[in-house]
Amino acid sequence: MNHIKLLFFATIRDRAGVKSLEMDIPVDMTIEDLKDKLSIDYPNLKESMKSVLMTINREYAFDEAVVPSNAEIGMFPPVSGG
């Protein structure tokens, strides 16, 4: 198992109800797998998982990225600007 820390930002933080969360995940878990797990374990986050921007150790990560041990995972709502 890998130990990770999740950091929630903006509206995702509001939906999660906490600033951060620590958890153990399987060694080969991808970002996509993590989104699926969070959608099931935290139903308030399910809608957010469809468009969330995620980082691994402060670098943007795509769904196929494998989450390393002791990673810091940031979760941000989509951003728009003009």
Per residue in 27-74, pLDDT (tens digit) is 999 999 999 999 999 999 999 999 999 999 999 999 999 999 999 999
Average pLDDT over residues 11-22: 95
Which CATH class name applies to 2-76?
Answer: alpha beta
Average pLDDT over residues 8-17: 95
| Strand order through the sheet with 53-56 | 20-25, 2-8, 72-76, 53-56, 59-61
Give the containing element (helix H, strand E) for 53: strand 53-56
| Global model pTM greater than 0.85 | yes
Token pair in block for residue 26: 């399987």
With beta carbons less than 8 A apart as the criterion, state whether 20 and 8 touch.
yes
The pLDDT score that the predictor gives to residue 48 is 93
Give residue 81's pLDDT band: very low, low, confident or very high (50, 70, 90): low
